[in-house]
């Protein structure tokens, strides 16, 4: 999962348990999951370069 947004149940679980309003959750959670996805894609690419 690269970007979690309002159509994803994970988005609503995180926003509701952290008591964020929807506007803040859109900005912070979406950006954070985008960053996590890009870091993970980069890490997988680097590992694949070492293995091959």
**Predicted local confidence at residue 36, as pLDDT:** 93
Task: Quote the pTM value.
Answer: 0.73
How much is the pLDDT for 1?
A: 65
Q: 32-52: b or e for each residue (b if 16 or more CB lie within 10 Å)?
A: ebeeeeeeeeeeeeeeeeeee
CB 3 within 8 A of CB 34: yes
> Per-residue pLDDT tens for 29-40?
889 989 999 999
């Amino acid at each position: 999962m690269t970007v979690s947004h309002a159509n994803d149940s994970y988005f609503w679980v995180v926003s509701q348990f952290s008591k964020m309003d929807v506007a803040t959750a859109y900005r912070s959670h979406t950006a954070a999951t985008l960053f996590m996805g890009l870091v993970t894609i980069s890490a997988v690419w680097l590992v694949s370069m070492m293995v091959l």
